[in-house]
Amino acid sequence: MTSPRHLLLIALMLVLLPAAAFGQFTDTVGQTESGSYYKFRVPDGWQPANGLVIWNHGFSLSPISTSPDLGPLVDLQVSEGYAVAASSYSQIGWALFQTRDDLEQMVRAFETAYGVPDQILVTGASLGGIVTVQAIESANLGNVVGALPICGAVAGSRSWNGAFDLRLLYDYYCSEVPGAAIPGGSTGLAFPPDPNFDEQALGFALDQCFGIFSGADPDQQNRLASILEISGLPNVEFLVTDMGFATFGMADLFFDPNKLAGVQALGNADVDYGDPAVNAGITRVTADPTAAALLADNYTPTGKVDDVKIVSIHTDKDGLVLVEQESDYAAKVPAANFTVGIIVEDEPSHCDFSAAETVAAWESLRGWVAGGPQPTSAGLQATCQGIEQQGAAPGPCRIDPTYVIPNIDDRIRPRETCEQGGGTLCLNQNRFKVSVTWEDFEGGTGGGTILPQTDDTGAFWFFDDANLEMMVKVLDGRQTNGKFWVFYGSLTNVAFELTVTDTVTGEVKVYENPLNNFGSVGDTEAF
């Protein structure tokens, strides 16, 4: 067995030895058909065997850059022989509606100019973390072998539920306060957005409600304490940051004609906010199923990563991209493909890693991809400490192997969910809730009892657990026709009614079978 000390030495050799091998490089910029700009940095002497790194940047409402940033590790990666590529994305804000095309077209441009890389590693921070996940799960990039999301929004489109709740909580506490009202509510801002309502105007409204900048009176202090408690935000600084995301960012998401085009994709009709007064007084909104499905498709992770190896790091007190997002993704991805390291910090931050922590995650991923064992959180910390001690990158090293990531439901309140058991079968990453009722030839009725088989497939029995009556599966066919598929096979001629619910969109499909009929269905247009 390879010892931890040996693994640490391997990691240090990876980070220290190749630095002199590739000193010169060439930068190339260009634009894809989708409208995104790309930048390549290719070391002199690069060959396909050296591999390609793709860097994905974070959330921004600024105009797209014609010369994208290549990420915090570009100097190290180029010194190690990798070519590095980055996309501006063709959309601002929540760019996931186009990032698959952006990255695919960027990689094709790289291949035309330099050749097909033998392997690709994908990395990115914040929004770039979910772009990274989308890329490894659903984009056609080539031989992707590893991924490094950094403080990534790896719960995907569910992140918007937290922003949506904050925006409506603000209205609950502040809409009647003079000077504090923000128009728009559940869409972030009103449409068309008022050009005079900018960051300064938002700051003024927040100050009127909470006294953030000018000093708070007792009423303002009480409102501030209440919204921080209900939202779970760690401090007032993150309240300001997150309110910017929940107004300007959410309005861009809703009103961009190439995103949601003004249709309500988020709802809170059944959300419990843990406070009777808030539950009674907060605005209730029902999501449009089609828009909710569109947002989920762009993008909710599936966990289907094939053989891609993933190392993810996150700070524990992040108030913008919550550390709980790591527990959401960990529940979907096979444990053999996923290592996460949590940095325990003294003060809350978003993506405030030391250089040694970031390099340790990168080098641990490289070692794993190169054939070494899967790194552990303790191994990430040891590698970080070794890198710091050798002077390869400054610390501190704060990765805590004992840290237990909390459940995301405690921070981003769940909408309709699937809880498997009894007569409820949960399929396809628990997204689809399946149940069946039956009626026999004597008029007897009842519900089917589940017998789970795989993530996508399950069975029901009606009368005897040794006698199965039907099989059901829900498959993700979106790469084929943009739909989820429902198949069931009937092993009975009693009447039954099969109900399948998409818990993301609220859409329901009901399949009926009459008495004395052996009915089976393959619905490739179900959801």
**pLDDT for the residue 503:** 85
Pair 399, 25: CB distance under 8 Å: no
**pLDDT digits over 109-165, tens only?**
999 999 999 999 999 999 999 999 999 999 999 999 999 999 999 999 999 999 999
**pLDDT digits over 382-417, tens only?**
999 999 999 999 999 999 999 999 999 999 998 877
Run of H or E including 164: helix 159-174
Nearest to 473 by CA among 524, 517, 415: 524
Tell the residue number behind the tokens 């598929």, with chain if given: 485
Q: Please state the φ and ψ torsions of residue 521, each to the nearest 5 degrees.
A: -135, 145
Average confidence score pLDDT of the chain = 93
Tell the residue number behind the tokens 């300001």, with chain if given: 240
Q: Give the angle subtended at the CA of 387 by the CAs of 20 and 44, to the nearest 5°.
A: 20
**pLDDT digits over 51-89, tens only?**
999 999 999 999 999 999 999 999 999 999 999 999 999
Nearest to 329 by CA among 105, 83, 197, 152: 152
Nearest to 304 by CA among 478, 99, 488, 503: 478
Range 383-401 burial, b when 16+ CB lie within 10 A, else e: bbbbbbeeebbeeebbbee
Nearest to 163 by CA among 241, 84, 236, 98: 241
**pLDDT for the residue 22:** 58
Half-sphere exposure for 380 (CA within 13 Å, toward CB) = 29
DSSP string, 432-488: EEEEEEEE-TTS-EEE-EEEE-SSSEEEEESS-TTSEEEEEEEEEEHHHHSEEEEEE
Alpha-carbon torsion, ordered 502, 503, 508, 514, to 10 deg: 80
Q: How far apart are CA 215 and CA 213, in angstroms?
A: 6
DSSP string, 398-428: -B-TT--PPPGGGTS---S----BTTBEEET
**Residue 387 backbone zone (phi > 0: left; psi -120 to 50: alpha; other: beta):** alpha
- Whether pLDDT at 17 is above 50: no
**pLDDT for the residue 431:** 87
- Cα 458 to chain centroid, rounded: 27
Nearest to 521 by CA among 494, 496, 490, 491: 490
Q: How far apart are CA 84 and CA 70, in angstroms?
A: 7
Pair 139, 175: CB distance under 8 Å: no
Average pLDDT rounded to a whole number, residues 298-315: 96
Average pLDDT rounded to a whole number, residues 347-362: 98
Give the pLDDT band (50/70/90) at residue 108: very high
Average pLDDT rounded to a whole number, residues 184-191: 95
DSSP string, 24-72: -EEEEEEE-TTS-EEEEEEETT--GGG-EEEEE-----SPPPSS----T
Q: State what percent of residues in the chain have pLDDT above 70.
A: 96
Q: Which residues have CB under 8 Å from 434's CB, separation 6+?
A: 424, 425, 426, 427, 458, 472, 474, 498, 499, 500, 501
**pLDDT for the residue 10:** 47
Average pLDDT rounded to a whole number, residues 437-461: 94
Q: Which token pair is 410?
A: 């405690």
Q: How far apart are CA 139 and CA 114, in angstroms?
A: 20
Average pLDDT rounded to a whole number, residues 170-190: 97
Domains of the chain (ranges, CATH numbers): 4-155+301-403 (3.40.50.1820), 158-296 (no CATH), 425-523 (no CATH)
Q: Please state the φ and ψ torsions of residue 94, each to the nearest 5 degrees.
A: -75, 90
Average pLDDT rounded to a whole number, residues 305-334: 97
Cis peptide before 4 (omega within 30 of 0): no
Q: Which token pair is 65?
A: 């850059």
**pLDDT for the residue 418:** 82
Give the pLDDT band (50/70/90) at residue 26: very high
**pLDDT for the residue 1:** 33
Average pLDDT rounded to a whole number, residues 198-210: 97
**pLDDT for the residue 13:** 45
Q: Please state the φ and ψ torsions of residue 474, each to the nearest 5 degrees.
A: -125, 120
Tell the residue number behind the tokens 């406070």, with chain if given: 275
Which DSSP state fits 284? -
Pair 54, 141: CB distance under 8 Å: yes
**pLDDT for the residue 9:** 47
Strand pairing class (457-461; 468-477): antiparallel
Q: How far apart are CA 476 and CA 303, in angstroms?
A: 12
